[in-house]
Amino acid sequence: MDNGLPPVVFIGAGPGAADLITVRGARRLAAAEVVLFDALTDPALRELAPQARWVDVGKRGFCHATGQTRINALLVKFASQGLRVVRLKGGDPSVFGRLEEELLALAAEGLTAEVVPGVTAAIAAAAAMQRPLTRRGSGRSVSLSTAMTRAGELLATRSADTEVFYMAGRQLAALARRLRDAGWPAETPVCVVSRAGCTDQLSSDHRVATLAEASVLHSGRPAVVTVGVGAAALPHVAARQALRTRDPACVPATRSVKTPNP
């Protein structure tokens, strides 16, 4: 390529608002001639590459989705034509983004690529709730999991101090049962954040025993569920939430909606 870059650049767009993309990602995107973009990427990112051809290859759970074989074929096709191709993925490309399959498809044709990391939804959710995923002395490990398997089976594990489950928004009641089966105590803190990183993000606090109550609030929205040490509110956050419950006028409004613990 005349700019010294590989023909294909995978860019993590972040989980929501366009300004969560990295500086490097924005620069690479601005140089694109073709952009293959995911369903959950912010449309405002088009302003960074108005000259590019934008091709929707999005996937959404339980909805119509572009087949992976077609995405692979499009990457190879455009890159083989000598075009500067950006594969724009929501969140981080390496976290549940099928990056391996697309890199292998390019490698099979002798095409190289660059991967630009992005903010994954688990990190954005933790920031929205002010819940550090690791805690000194109590939270030494974090696990990122998909709640749904390829076969459509719902799974839950207890392998780390904090577990973050992706793609669980439609299965919160069932996930609560699975968490109990996996050995999580009923009183374990859980927080749910839907559309993390977006201006309309919603967040709520629960316990494993009451997680099903989140279903109505987050209905139809992509959500991540954090369970364990990293879901517990810090003392100042818990105090602020309690104050808002008693008198909402005492605390400035935020973009997130938080419900108190049961």
Determine whether 129 is an active site residue: no
Whole-angstrom distance between the N-terminal and C-terminal Cα of the chain? 58
Instruction: Name the catalytic one among 89, 167, 205, 258.
Output: 167
Instruction: Name the catalytic one among 38, 42, 92, 161.
Output: 38
Phi/psi region, residue 151 (left: phi>0; alpha: psi -120 to 50; beta: rest), is: alpha
Determine whether 167 is an active site residue: yes
Output DSSP code: residue 139: B
How far apart CA 51 and CA 32 sit, in angstroms, is: 8
Across 131-230, the runs of DSSP E, i.e. the strands, are 142-146, 162-166, 189-194, 202-207, 223-228
Among 116, 46, 109, which Cα is nearest to 78's? 109
Among 140, 144, 139, 141, which Cα is nearest to 122's? 144
SS3 category, 152: coil
Among 36, 38, 39, 40, which Cα is nearest to 53's? 36
Q: Which amino acid makes up residue 169?
A: G
Determine whether 77 is an active site residue: no
How far apart CA 211 and CA 179 sit, in angstroms, is: 10
Q: Tell me which residues are annotated as active site.
A: 38, 59, 167
